Amino acid sequence: QQQVKQSPQSLIVQKGGISIINCAYENTAFDYFPWYQQFPGKGPALLIAIRPDVSEKKEGRFTISFNKSAKQFSLHIMDSQPGDSATYFCAASWENQAGTALIFGKGTTLSVSS
Amino acid sequence: ETGVTQSPTHLIKTRGQQVTLRCSSQSGHNTVSWYQQALGQGPQFIFQYYREEENGRGNFPPRFSGLQFPNYSSELNVNALELDDSALYLCAIGQGSGYTFGSGTRLTVV
């Protein structure tokens, strides 16, 4: 019940295209769903996050779509750029519960070709 | 850049040895967590400290232990190192929507 399943494992997109990464979770008690971006040699950095009371959140070229009934959420990167090439992790958590962890997916390596 | 500093950045240890990794933050946040990220995997929660007390732990054996100091810096100690302990160890301050990760310590056990 603690798992977050992420797909695809890797993704190649042409510059200007749309990158889509999907995640599914099992525990309906999760109330916070962030996406992290990680470049080689760096720690994960928060990209965008959503809470289950909304179905979509957009920040610039990045959009999270959230389907509570299906227990799925996805990251869409519009107009993908070579600088977006990185590993992306979805995660789930209980936002305000002390001592709890972020449960991460296994990651998606995105390569944007120019 | 992130305000979370981890040291050392890389180290190599021999199986059976002990290692101490360190984390500090500019903001001195009272909550710090440690994660293990194996190659090609997502980070996995080791434990969390709040005001010098452990208040949450993942599925890691007792040979993984930690400390948080009055200035809110933190240490991760791993005893009896195993080859599978080779990973990137990440420190994060804050919790929930306020997580900020450091760049990690790359530990190689040979």
Q: Closest partner residue to B101 among A6, A41, A44, by Cβ?
A: A44
Q: How far apart are CA A109 and CA B4, in angstroms?
A: 25
Q: Count of residues for chain B?
A: 110
pLDDT at res. A10: 97
Please determine, for residue A101, whether its predicted confidence score (pLDDT) is greater than 90: no
The DSSP-derived string for A16-82 is TS-EEEEEEE--TT--BEEEEEE-TTS--EEEEEE-TT-SEEEETTEEEEEETTTTEEEEEESS--G
Q: What is the pLDDT of residues A32-68, one digit of tens each?
A: 999 999 999 899 999 999 999 999 999 999 999 999 9
Confidence of residue A96 (pLDDT cuts 50, 70, 90): low
Minimal CA–CA distance to B71: which of B8, B29, B10?
B29
Query: Is B40 in the A-facing interface, judged by CB distances under 8 Å?
Result: yes
pLDDT at res. A66: 97
Q: Across the interface, do A100 and B56 touch by the CB < 8 Å criterion?
A: yes
Window from A4-13, A18-27, A92-101 with minimum mean pLDDT:
A92-101
In chain B, which residues have pLDDT < 70?
1-2
Could you tell me which chain A residue has the CA closest to the CA of B53? A99
